[in-house]
């Protein structure tokens, strides 16, 4: 276990497939901060709701499910883990189906309220890189450094396709691109905490940048912001 360094909350928001988790994980490692993947928490709820055959649009059923579900997230290690009622689901939630299920349950106000509480608890002491859709706007609106990581829809579809292929999943590019477009729409049009760039977030379009280039840009911004604070 890496000892967590003291420091600010660094928020990274953006649409699916923009590279948030890859970048956030590396950034956290470089800064010796904890990495907190909030999407994994929504996936965890989506996973359990799907297993139980719950209608993902049924607010009452989701509220009841949340009331008897314990989601835990351990971002202190190099390989963060998310558990549901003590069962490690970190691998099982990484499918396109669970991405769609997460997006569906993330519209629920009860689900969001419960996970918001957990996310604020995890970031309360700072020294974290947290990625999601509403970190800079809702979860930590006072985060010291906020990034909005974007890329073209084609590029995001291609990256996600590549990632799933490498994991040995049988996927089609057109279907992945279609699902990403649907999730974009659903995540940015929902009533509560929709995906949107915070006014004070630094926009980085990663379409033509390498992972290392994005990382260097972020480290530069973090360094200069922190140096500017008295
Ligand atoms: O980042 P991800 O693909 O693992 O996220 C899965 C879904 O969870 C995403 O489509 C919307 C939802 N989500 C959210 O509503 N708010 C967050 N902070 C993170 C994820």
Q: How far is the CA of 145 from the centre of ligand 1 (A)?
A: 20
Residue 79 burial by Cβ neighbours in a 10 Å radius (0-12, 13-18, 19+): exposed
Atom of ligand 1 nearest to the CA of 187: 11
CB of residue 183 inside a 6 A radius of ligand 1 = yes
Cβ neighbours, 10 Å, residue 181: 15
Tokens describing residue 115: 């996970």
Q: 9-223: what fold? A: Rossmann fold (3.40.50)
Atom of ligand 1 nearest to the CA of 93: 4
Place of tokens 């719950």: 54
Q: How far is the CA of 39 from the centre of ligand 1 (A)?
A: 4
Q: Can you tell me the distance from the alpha carbon of 161 to that of 173, in angstroms, rounded to the nearest whole number?
A: 6
Atom of ligand 1 nearest to the CA of 100: 10
Longest distance between any two alpha carbons in the chain, whole Å: 53
Which of 42, 139, 176, 191 most suits a substitution to test ligand 1, by most atoms within 8 Å of the C-beta? 42
Q: What is the chain's pLDDT, residue by residue, as a tens digit (230 residues)?
A: 445 666 799 999 999 999 999 999 999 999 999 999 999 999 999 999 999 999 999 999 999 999 999 999 998 767 789 999 999 999 999 998 999 999 999 999 999 999 999 999 999 999 999 999 999 999 999 999 999 999 999 999 999 999 889 989 899 999 999 999 999 999 999 999 999 999 999 999 999 999 999 999 999 999 998 777 64
β-pairing, 145-150 vs 9-13, is parallel
């Amino acid at each position: 276990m890496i000892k967590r360094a003291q420091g600010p909350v660094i928020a990274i928001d953006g649409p699916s497939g923009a590279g948030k988790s890859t970048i956030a994980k590396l950034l956290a490692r470089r800064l010796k901060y904890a990495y907190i993947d909030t999407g994994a928490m929504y996936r965890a709820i989506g996973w359990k709701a799907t297993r139980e055959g719950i209608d993902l649009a049924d607010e009452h059923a989701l509220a009841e499910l949340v009331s008897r579900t314990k989601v835990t997230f351990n971002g202190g290690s190099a390989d963060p883990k998310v558990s549901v009622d003590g069962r490690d689901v970190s691998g099982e939630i990484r499918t396109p189906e669970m991405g769609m299920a997460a997006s569906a349950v993330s519209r629920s106000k009860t689900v969001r309220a419960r996970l918001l509480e957990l996310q604020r608890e995890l970031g309360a002491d700072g020294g974290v890189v947290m990625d999601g859709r509403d970190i800079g706007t809702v979860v930590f609106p006072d985060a010291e450094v906020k990034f909005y990581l974007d890329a073209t829809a084609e590029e995001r579809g291609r990256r996600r396709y590549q990632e799933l292929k490498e994991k040995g999943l049988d996927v089609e590019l057109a279907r992945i691109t279609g699902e990403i477009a649907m999730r974009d729409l659903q995540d940015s049009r929902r009533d509560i905490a929709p995906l949107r760039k915070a006014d004070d977030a630094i926009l980085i379009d990663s379409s033509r940048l390498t992972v290392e280039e994005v990382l260097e840009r972020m480290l530069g911004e973090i360094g200069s912001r922190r140096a500017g604070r008295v």
